Amino acid sequence: MPALLEKARAKINLTLHVRGRRADGWHDLESLVAFAGVADVLRLEPQAALALRVSGPTAQDAGPDDDNLVLRAARAFLARFPAARAGRFDLVKRLPAQAGVGGGSSDAAAALRLLARLNDMRLDDPALHELAAGLGADVAVCLEPRARMMRGRGEELGPRLRLPPLYVALVRPGVGLDTAQVFRAMGYAPGEASPFGPHPEISDGGGFEELVAALRRGRNDMEDAACALAPAVSAALAVLAAAPGARLARMSGSGSTCFALFADRRAALRAAAAIRRARPHWWARASALA
């Protein structure tokens, strides 16, 4: 059987509301998620034994191969479906780590998609969704990488949303952020609810101006804590907000990647190119969102 390929697309939180902290210590989230074209690439060789090889420009930040989420996803899949087939994975890492774009989670979801294809399993199989949700907060939403609302710990997924054409310039300003550390810096006690307002309604199939207006009524509640921990995030937000044509600048996830939203693809490309020239130690890319 020929090798199978999947892209592990960057997950972008266009909004991220932290509704509070539950008694069990987990935080309840509400987020509009979309996916960029920039991605890691995962290859599965079905005839080989289960293994993982990692390469690519950001491979050095991916951590030990044996603890990689790709192998953890594959082992969990085989434990859940003992008769299933697997193989050897080759992961080309292009997304940065500790960046708020779900690189590891998207890699794990891509591994599950490959294993589902190899074993003639539907992606909407409830067992597969349960398996994804158990691997990490963002894995379930990355399983079918299309724009949608995500709630709870990340396991509650809304229907797919049709967004207008959107383009982003993405910037990781040379530093990473640990998600748990950002949550600690926010300071929510178990059982404490958020004092901030509700998430805006997001229309399915609405226009660009309508979406931008809704996003401006939303926020990323982790942004202030992230900026306090890593002032470079504030610098990235300021640079993106000043880019010609930028309609909104915000942090994705728990950081450190920030994005500016554009209606025009060329404006996004120009912004990312200008930032790379001015700050070559920053990771900067432009992409469409879906």
- With vertex at residue 224, the alpha carbon angle to CA 221 and CA 230, rounded to the nearest 5 degrees, is 130
Q: Is residue 113 located within the same domain as residue 8?
A: yes
Question: Which two structure tokens, joined as six digits, stand for 203?
Answer: 């229309």
Q: Is residue 207 located within the same domain as residue 245?
A: yes
Question: Which two structure tokens, joined as six digits, stand for 63?
Answer: 């951590």
Q: Is residue 137 located within the same domain as residue 217?
A: no
Domain ranges, residue 78: 4-157
Q: Smallest Cα–Cα separation from 224: which of 197, 203, 196, 254?
A: 254
For residue 65, pLDDT over 80 is answered with no
Q: Is residue 130 located within the same domain as residue 187?
A: no
- Of 157, 183, 211, the domain-final residue: 157
Q: Is residue 98 located within the same domain as residue 179?
A: no
CATH number of residue 204's parent domain? 3.30.70.890
Please give the mean pLDDT across all residues of the chain. Answer: 96
- The β-bridge partners of 44 are 4, 89
- Of 157, 181, 205, the domain-final residue: 157
Q: Smallest Cα–Cα separation from 10: which of 126, 117, 168?
A: 168
pLDDT band at 63 (very low <50, low <70, confident <90, very high): confident
CATH number of residue 151's parent domain? 3.30.230.10
What's the 3-state SS for the chain?
CCCEEEEEEEEEECCEEEEEECCCCCEEEEEEEEEEEEEEEEEEECCCCCEEEEECCCHHHCCCHHHCHHHHHHHHHHHHCCCCCCCEEEEECCCCCCCCCCHHHHHHHHHHHHHHHHCCCCCCCHHHHHHHHHHCCCHHHHHCCCCEEEEECCCEECCCCCCCCEEEEEEECCCCCCHHHHHHHHCCCCCCECCCCCCCCCCCCCCHHHHHHHHHHCCECCHHHHHHHCHHHHHHHHHHHCCCCCCEEEECCCCCCEEEEECCHHHHHHHHHHHHHHCCCCEEEEEEEC
For residue 2, pLDDT over 80 is answered with yes
84, 14 Cβ separation under 8 angstroms: no
Q: Is residue 127 located within the same domain as residue 207?
A: no
For residue 5, pLDDT over 80 is answered with yes
- The β-bridge partners of 42 are 6, 91
Residues contacting residue 57 through CB under 8 Å, at least 6 positions apart: 93, 94
Residues annotated as part of the active site: 11, 138
Residue type, 135: L
pLDDT, residue 104, reads 95
For residue 83, pLDDT over 80 is answered with yes
Question: What average pLDDT does the segment 78-107 reach?
Answer: 96
- Of 157, 188, 217, the domain-final residue: 157
Q: Is residue 130 located within the same domain as residue 244?
A: no
Q: Is residue 144 located within the same domain as residue 261?
A: no
Q: Is residue 115 located within the same domain as residue 175?
A: no
Q: What is each CA distance from 254 to 76, 227, 237, 251, in whole angstroms?
A: 26, 10, 14, 8
Question: What average pLDDT does the segment 173-189 reach?
Answer: 96
pLDDT, residue 64, reads 76
Question: What average pLDDT does the segment 238-263 reach?
Answer: 98
Q: Is residue 30 located within the same domain as residue 121?
A: yes
Question: What average pLDDT does the segment 254-282 reach?
Answer: 98
Q: Is the pTM of this model over 0.85?
A: yes
Question: What average pLDDT does the segment 84-91 reach?
Answer: 97
pLDDT band at 67 (very low <50, low <70, confident <90, very high): confident
d(CA 219, CA 222): 9
Q: Is residue 54 located within the same domain as residue 181?
A: no
Please tell me the total count of domains within the chain: 2
The percent of residues above 90 in pLDDT, for the chain, comes to 97
Q: Is residue 201 located within the same domain as residue 174?
A: yes
Question: What average pLDDT does the segment 106-111 reach?
Answer: 98
Q: Smallest Cα–Cα separation from 282: which of 170, 205, 182, 179?
A: 170
139, 225 Cβ separation under 8 angstroms: no
Residue type, 118: L
Question: Which two structure tokens, joined as six digits, stand for 99?
Answer: 């960046």
d(CA 186, CA 239): 24
